[in-house]
Amino acid sequence: MPKKAPGHSEADAIFRQTGIYGKTALILGTWAGSGLMPFASGTFGTIAAVPVVALSSLFSAWISALFLLIMILIAIWASQVVHRLLAKVDPSEVVIDEVAGFLLTMLWIPFSLKTLVAGFLLFRIFDIWKPWPVRSAEKLKGGFGIVLDDLVAGLYANLLLRLALYFGFF
């Protein structure tokens, strides 16, 4: 039997013990388990968001924005529930916030492999670096705080990507 990643066996045990409400939140919050990676869970969560970003790019600008809004609401809910279930302030297992942040990064950006890679890198840089007010947003409590810092990082990444496109870097 494969060895479980340290710290994530707790999430496995809680998943087995909780009802459908908790299971749904855990599946969404960990973005189908991508947040259970033993290291760099945020990076793996962002990678797992690529299909959603690609799908969102197929729709009109306003449908993409509505899709992002729905994802933000789901992310806040799932993050809050998982935060309570795991009894952790900002559980590393929760990566649905990265999904919402990466969707914001790519919102209304022309979709291509270059913009996808650039958006991914910019989002991860801002999410890890946490310049003001990203770090301040992270200090807010519950699901809202868990998601808000990634949205601010996504906004920074989106704006910088727009500047790069405007000045012809892509």
**String of DSSP letters for 130-154:** --TTHHHHHTS-HHHHHHHHHHHHH
pLDDT at position 70, please? 98
In a domain, 29, yes or no: yes
In a domain, 4, yes or no: no
In a domain, 2, yes or no: no
Cα(107)–Cα(151) distance, rounded to whole angstroms?
12
- Count of domains in the chain? 1
At 76-119, the pLDDT tens digits run 999 999 999 999 988 999 999 999 999 999 999 999 999 999 99
In a domain, 3, yes or no: no
Tell me if the bond preceding 6 is cis, omega within 30° of 0. no
Model-wide pTM > 0.85: yes
Structure tokens at 143: 């699901």
Q: pLDDT confidence of 7, banded at 50, 70, 90? A: low
Helix (H, G, I), strand (E, B) or coil at 57: coil
Parent domain of 114: 9-166
Cα(134)–Cα(5) distance, rounded to whole angstroms?
29
In a domain, 124, yes or no: yes
In a domain, 148, yes or no: yes
At 108-135, the pLDDT tens digits run 999 999 999 999 999 999 999 989 887 8
CB contact at 8 A, 56 and 106:
yes
At 140-170, the pLDDT tens digits run 889 999 999 999 999 999 999 999 999 998 7
